[in-house]
C-alpha cells in the first residue's frame, strides 16, 4: 500500500533560495517541453514519447542558453517530464483535461526520488544542499526513523508556507474496523451539507461565505496596488492566506465528517452527483463549490476501502426525492421549493431530504444484494426494492 505523510517544513533562507531556483527550473522545463510537444503535434501530427522529451531536455541543457539548469538537481527536472507524460496519458484516456502551462504564481513543487535525497534518523537531506531541512512530524504513533521513503515532494503554497510530502510503500494494511451493523444513505445538499437516512442532518458550515467580506476587502486592496510592486506582492500574500484559512477549515470539516461516518457505519450509500454540471448554475456555483462534494466522496472512497467498510454510489437519475420511502409511490414532479410533501398513496408526510436519504439507502441495499450498479433503466427495479424495504415498516416491524 502506498501512503504519504505531509509535514510542515521550515527551510532556512539559503535552502529556500535553492528550492525557489529548483521550482523555477521545473516550471521552465515543463513549459518549454509542453510548448515543444504542442508545436511538434501541430506541425507533424505525431505524439511525443517520454524518451523523446528526455532527449529534448538534454539538448536544452547543452544549447548554451540554459546553463543554470545544471545548478539544481536533475531529478526534479526528470520527474517533471514523467508527470507531464502521465498527464498526457490521462488526457488521451479521457480521465483529465489537457495539460496546461505552469504559472509562477500559486503552488510550486519539486519531486525528488531516492537518488536525490537521503533519509536517515528521521532527517531529510536533499540533493545539492548541505544541511537537512527542518520539519515538524505530526504523527506520534509513527516513528519517523523507521520509515523508508520512496519519493519526497517539497512544495510552497501561495501563502508562503512550505511542506514536504513523504511517500512510502508499506506491506501492512490497517486493521479493519469492528462491525457496527449501521447503514446510512446520504443525501448531499446546500442548506444542510448532508442528511442521513437516520434523520440526522449535518449543517453546512459555509466556510467561504463566512470569510467572503474579508476576502473581498483583501482583493480590493490588492487591486489598488501597482502591478509588479512589492506592495502588490504583500497584498497577494494576504489574499492567499485568507483562502488558505477557508481551504483548511473545509478540509478539516470533510475529514472529521467522513471519518465519523466510516467509523459508525458498515454500509454507506451516496448519489453520483454531476457536480460539474451543477456549478454551471451561476446562482449556486459558489455555494456548491464551497461544499466540496467531490472531495467528500473521494475521502469516503479511500477510507471505506482502507478500513473494511463498503461504499455504494447509485445512479444520479434515480428519483430518490420523488419516491415515497414508505410505500414506493412515485410523484410525476416535485419542485425544488417543496421541502415536505404528503404521499397520495399512503398518506405519509415526507421530509424531502430525509425521504431521499432513505430511498438512497434502499437502492444501495439492492445494489449490495445483486452486486450491480443502479442505472437509469433500472429505476423501476430500484422502486420495487424501495417498496420491499418499506413493507416491514408498514407491517409494524422496525426498520433496520
Work out the average pLDDT over 195-212: 92
Please check whether residues 111 and 198 belong to one and the same domain. no
The answer as to whether 371 is a domain residue is yes
List active site positions.
Answer: 187, 271, 353
Which of 278, 313, 348 marks a domain boundary? 313
* Residue 87 belongs to some domain of the structure: yes
Instruction: List pLDDT tens digits, range 135-173.
Output: 999 999 889 998 999 999 999 998 899 999 999 988 777
Segment 42-46 mean pLDDT: 91
Distance CA 129, CA 117 (A): 10
DSSP string, 231-278: HHHHHHHHHHHHHHHHHHHHHHHHHHHHHHHHHH-SEEEEE---HHHH
Residue among 3, 312, 7 nearest 174 (CA): 3
Q: Confidence class of residue 395 from pLDDT cuts 50, 70 and 90?
A: very low
More confident of the two residues 276 and 31: 31
Distance CA 276, CA 349 (A): 33
Short-list 287, 295, 247, CA closest to 270 = 295
- The tens digit of pLDDT for each residue in 304-344 reads 999 999 999 998 888 999 999 888 899 999 988 888 999 99
Whether residues 160 and 188 fall in one domain = no
Q: Is residue 178 part of a domain?
A: no
Judge whether residue 122 has pLDDT over 70.
Answer: yes
What pLDDT does residue 276 have?
84
Q: Decide: pTM greater than 0.85.
A: no
Q: Which residue has the higher pLDDT, 382 or 283?
A: 283
pLDDT greater than 60 at residue 379:
no
Last residue of a domain, one of 287, 313, 339: 313
Average per-residue pLDDT in the chain?
89
Q: Let me know whether 13 and 124 are in one domain.
A: yes
Give the DSSP H/E element, type plus range, for residue 135. strand 134-136
Indicate the range of 191-195, 284-288, 295-299 predicted with least confidence.
284-288
Q: Which of 128, 147, 169 is the last residue of a domain?
A: 169
Average pLDDT over residues 197-217: 92
User: In the predicted model, is pLDDT for residue 234 greater than 60?
Assistant: yes
pLDDT given for residue 366 in this prediction: 86
Q: In which band, very low, low, confident or very high, does the pLDDT at 175 lie, cut at 50, 70 and 90? A: confident
H helices within the chain, ranges in order? 13-44, 50-62, 74-92, 207-210, 212-224, 230-264, 275-278, 285-291, 293-306, 352-370, 379-394
| Site of grid cell 501492512 | 172
The sign of the torsion formed by the CA atoms of 109, 112, 116, 121 equals positive
Element at 349 (helix H, strand E): strand 349-351
Number of helical (H) and strand (E) elements in the chain, helices listed first:
11, 14
119 and 199 inside one domain = no
Q: Which domain holds residue 255?
A: 183-313
Amino acid at each position: 500500500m502506498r501512503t504519504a505523510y505531509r509535514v510542515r517544513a521550515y527551510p532556512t533562507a539559503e535552502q529556500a533560495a535553492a528550492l525557489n531556483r529548483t521550482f523555477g527550473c521545473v516550471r521552465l522545463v515543463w513549459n518549454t517541453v509542453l510548448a515543444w510537444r504542442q508545436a511538434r503535434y501541430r506541425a507533424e501530427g505525431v505524439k511525443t514519447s517520454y524518451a523523446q522529451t528526455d532527449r529534448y531536455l538534454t539538448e536544452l541543457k547543452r544549447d548554451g542558453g540554459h546553463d543554470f539548469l545544471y545548478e539544481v538537481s536533475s531529478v526534479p527536472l526528470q520527474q517533471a517530464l514523467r508527470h507531464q507524460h502521465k498527464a498526457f496519458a490521462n488526457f488521451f484516456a479521457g480521465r483529465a483535461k489537457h495539460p496546461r502551462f505552469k504559472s509562477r504564481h500559486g503552488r510550486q513543487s519539486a519531486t525528488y526520488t531516492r537518488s536525490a535525497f537521503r533519509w536517515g534518523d528521521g532527517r531529510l537531506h536533499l540533493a545539492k544542499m548541505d544541511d537537512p531541512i527542518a520539519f515538524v512530524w505530526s504523527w506520534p504513533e509513527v516513528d519517523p526513523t523507521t520509515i523508508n521513503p520512496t519519493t519526497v515532494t517539497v512544495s510552497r503554497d501561495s501563502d508562503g508556507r512550505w511542506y514536504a510530502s513523504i511517500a512510502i510503500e508499506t506491506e501492512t494494511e490497517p486493521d479493519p474496523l469492528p462491525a457496527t451493523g449501521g447503514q446510512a444513505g446520504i443525501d448531499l445538499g446546500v442548506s444542510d451539507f448532508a442528511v442521513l437516512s437516520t434523520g440526522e442532518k449535518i449543517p453546512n458550515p459555509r466556510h467561504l461565505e463566512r470569510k467572503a467580506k474579508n476576502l473581498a476587502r483583501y482583493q480590493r486592496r490588492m487591486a489598488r496596488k501597482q502591478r509588479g510592486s512589492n506592495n502588490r506582492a504583500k497584498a497577494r500574500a494576504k489574499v492567499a492566506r485568507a483562502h488558505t484559512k477557508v481551504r483548511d477549515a473545509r478540509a478539516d470539516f470533510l475529514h472529521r465528517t467522513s471519518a465519523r461516518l466510516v467509523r459508525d457505519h458498515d454500509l454507506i450509500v451516496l448519489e453520483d452527483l454531476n457536480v460539474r454540471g451543477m456549478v454551471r448554475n451561476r446562482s449556486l456555483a459558489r455555494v456548491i463549490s464551497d461544499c466540496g462534494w467531490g472531495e467528500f466522496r473521494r475521502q469516503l472512497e479511500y477510507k471505506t476501502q482502507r478500513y473494511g467498510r463498503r461504499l455504494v454510489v447509485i445512479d444520479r437519475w434515480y428519483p430518490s426525492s420523488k419516491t415515497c420511502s414508505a410505500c414506493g409511490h412515485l410523484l410525476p414532479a416535485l419542485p425544488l421549493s417543496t421541502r415536505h410533501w404528503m404521499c397520495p398513496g399512503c398518506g405519509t408526510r415526507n421530509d424531502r431530504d430525509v425521504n431521499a436519504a432513505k430511498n438512497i439507502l434502499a437502492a444501495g441495499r439492492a445494489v449490495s444484494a445483486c452486486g450491480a450498479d443502479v442505472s437509469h433503466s433500472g429505476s423501476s427495479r430500484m422502486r420495487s426494492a424501495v417498496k420491499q424495504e418499506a413493507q416491514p415498516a408498514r407491517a409494524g416491524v422496525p426498520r433496520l
